[in-house]
Amino acid sequence: MPGTTGALSRRRLLGSAGAAGAAGLVLGAAGGATGYAATRDKAPTALTSVGSSEVMFHGKHQPGITTPLQASGHLIAFDLVPGAGRKEAAALMRRWSAAAQRLMAGEPTAGGAADGTGHDTGIALDAGPSSLTVTFGFGATFFERTGLVGRRPPGLDPLPPFSADHLDTARSNGDLWVQIGADDALVAFHALRAVQKEAASTATVRWQMNGFNRTPGATAKPMTARNLMGQIDGTGNPKPADTDFDQRVFVPSGADEATYEWLAGGSYAVVRRIRMLLDDWEKLPVEHQERVIGRRKADGAPLSGGTETTDMDLDKAGPDGKLLIPDNAHARISSPERNSGAAMLRRPFSYHDGIAADGTPDAGLLFICWQADPLRGFVPVQRKLDRGDALSPFLRHEASGLFAVPGGAAAGEYVGQRLLES
Ligand code: HEM
């Protein structure tokens, strides 16, 4: 039933998972099972809707922010090599943008990568674009390295310390940050290799983290993703249809024309590697786990009643007079109404890296949140969670990054050009 497949897949693309929306940014899937990667003539074999879904590289915003969560992801930070400055950084952003555009269209990288190899790795041969996105950001140190400190936006001021921090500086921050996501793990890895190879002699890898989410089609209907604690995670996210969505997530134009205009249409990404103490968490009875969050585990409904999409009633008490959503419940403490409206778009990947030296799972959340201003998004909320969230005893923040993510590149432009060439 091609019609059904198309409808389902389209719904998945356009909307269910909190970080969804972005209508018009995703191509493919409209033809359902009969969609071709190339309506681009290059791949005559029919792909499934997962393979044929394509996200546009060019646009007002970079891809990978409002794009629905993908099944496979890589986060990678680079430092410019000694001697590399603004000119080399500009050349790198030009190479990366050209590669990202081709990769996201499902095409092989052009021959002659900057590392001297003259051919595509072949890892993604046979696959379509698979909703690949490649997103680029700049860390605070990038501005020192490129002589552009005067153009560094205030939102990149270092995050304050939090009591839950056990941060590994070697796996934190970095001059440049790249987020890769795709609904196929080989397509994601292919992009990762291309990004690494194009960095060649200009930048070296500082850290890399690999993550995943649910595979499209694994659930009977499109739904908000679960994390490794088993919770439905993403329900309270701002929705692209909200009137204040852009205002919360994207940097407006005109704040300071000359200095920061390069960031208009961009956003700030806060990246936290948050280890989950799963052995401890899994010992809790489900009812206790639900009180920690303030929502039901099975369907994400607030403990004050209703379904996943029902608003939380933070004042509602049970017959015993106790609040149904406890005082220290994570969803209560982090909710915008308890944080002077502070909100962010959470778009994470889960991760697991085997068993750590202490014998417990090295697993958790690559928490990525997007906001127009970290001081009105992540910072106040994390400060509050830090002081008394019921979830905190089960978490350890192990790495942290803050990156300014420029607006999307227009046709013929590369990401960051408005900073690096004006
Ligand atoms: C591994 C760490 C974390 C886990 C497992 C987790 C889990 C959850 C869950 C299950 C919900 C309820 C469903 C939803 O609305 O998405 C939630 C809500 C939320 N979380 Fe977290 N969270 C984590 C870390 C954080 C951090 C570090 C922040 C920000 C500093 C944060 C901010 C929020 C916000 C803003 C909401 C929505 C509140 C609302 O509007 O209802 N979370 N989280």
Ligand 1 centre distance from Cα of residue 367 (Å) = 9
**Average pLDDT, integer, range 140-145:** 98
Q: Tokens standing for 174? A: 């970095």
- Position 41 scores a pLDDT of 42
- Position 109 scores a pLDDT of 83
Ligand 1 centre distance from Cα of residue 236 (Å) = 8
Asked whether the predicted pLDDT for residue 15 surpasses 60, the reply is no
Quickly state the pLDDT bin for 329 (edges 50, 70, 90).
Answer: very high
What pLDDT, in 10s, does the model give residues 186-199?
999 999 999 999 99
Q: Whose CA is nearest to atom 33 of ligand 1?
A: 334
3-state secondary structure of 94: helix
Ligand 1 centre distance from Cα of residue 385 (Å) = 10
Looking at the CA of residue 312, tell me the nearest atom of ligand 1: 41
- Position 325 scores a pLDDT of 98
**Average pLDDT, integer, range 228-253:** 96
- Catalytic site residue from 79, 184, 233, 373: 233
Asked whether the predicted pLDDT for residue 27 surpasses 80, the reply is no
What is the rounded CA–CA span in Å between residue 24 and residue 14? 9
Q: Whose CA is nearest to atom 6 of ligand 1?
A: 233
Backbone angles phi, psi at 106, to 5 degrees: 80, 20
CB 294 near ligand 1, within 6 Å? no
Looking at the CA of residue 276, tell me the nearest atom of ligand 1: 1
Quickly state the pLDDT bin for 255 (edges 50, 70, 90).
Answer: low
CB 350 near ligand 1, within 6 Å? no
Looking at the CA of residue 294, tell me the nearest atom of ligand 1: 12
Distances in whole angstroms, Cα of residue 351 to Cα of each of 74, 215, 347, 393: 10, 14, 13, 19
Asked whether the predicted pLDDT for residue 17 surpasses 70, the reply is no
CB 227 near ligand 1, within 6 Å? yes
CB 238 near ligand 1, within 6 Å? no
Asked whether the predicted pLDDT for residue 353 surpasses 70, the reply is yes
Looking at the CA of residue 339, tell me the nearest atom of ligand 1: 35
- Listing DSSP states for 202-258 in one string gives TEEEEEEEEEE-PPTTSSSS----B-TTS-B--TTS--TTSTTHHHHHSPPTTSSHH
Q: Whose CA is nearest to atom 30 of ligand 1?
A: 382
Give the mean pLDDT of the chain.
89
Q: What is the pTM of this model?
A: 0.91
For residue 12, give the amino acid letter. Answer: R
What is the rounded CA–CA span in Å between residue 13 and residue 49? 10
Q: Which residue has the tokens 């201003």?
A: 373
Q: Tokens standing for 315? A: 């004042």
Looking at the CA of residue 385, tell me the nearest atom of ligand 1: 30
Quickly state the pLDDT bin for 332 (edges 50, 70, 90).
Answer: very high
What pLDDT, in 10s, does the model give residues 258-300?
678 999 999 999 999 999 999 999 999 999 999 999 999 999 9
What is the rounded CA–CA span in Å between residue 414 and residue 422? 13
For the chain, the distance separating the N- and C-terminal CA atoms, rounded to the nearest angstrom, is 52
Mutate to test the pocket of ligand 1, among 227, 228, 233 (most ligand atoms within 8 A of CB): 233
CB 382 near ligand 1, within 6 Å? yes
168 is catalytic: no
Quickly state the pLDDT bin for 388 (edges 50, 70, 90).
Answer: confident
Estimate the crossing angle of helix 185-199 against helix 86-104, to 10 degrees.
Answer: 160
- Position 256 scores a pLDDT of 63
Q: Which residue has the tokens 């409209």?
A: 30
Which among 83, 91, 106 has a CA at the least distance from the CA of 37? Answer: 106
**Average pLDDT, integer, range 174-193:** 98
Strand 395-405 to 267-276 pairing: antiparallel
Helix (H) or strand (E) holding 322: none
- Position 210 scores a pLDDT of 98
What pLDDT, in 10s, does the model give residues 205-237?
999 999 999 999 999 999 999 999 999 999 999
Residues in the chain: 422
Helix (H) or strand (E) holding 4: helix 2-14
Which residues, listed in sequence order, are joined to residue 79 by a DSSP beta bridge? Answer: 204
For residue 387, give the amino acid letter. Answer: R
Ligand 1 centre distance from Cα of residue 46 (Å) = 39
CB 185 near ligand 1, within 6 Å? no
What residues have CB less than 8 Å from 120, skipping those under 6 apart? Answer: 108, 109, 111, 194
Asked whether the predicted pLDDT for residue 170 surpasses 70, the reply is yes
3-state secondary structure of 145: helix
Ligand 1 centre distance from Cα of residue 61 (Å) = 24
CB 248 near ligand 1, within 6 Å? no
CB 370 near ligand 1, within 6 Å? no
Asked whether the predicted pLDDT for residue 7 surpasses 80, the reply is no
Asked whether the predicted pLDDT for residue 66 surpasses 80, the reply is yes
Looking at the CA of residue 343, tell me the nearest atom of ligand 1: 35
- Position 179 scores a pLDDT of 99
- Position 8 scores a pLDDT of 33
CB 20 near ligand 1, within 6 Å? no
Mutate to test the pocket of ligand 1, among 231, 272, 332, 334 (most ligand atoms within 8 A of CB): 334
- Position 28 scores a pLDDT of 39
- Position 245 scores a pLDDT of 97
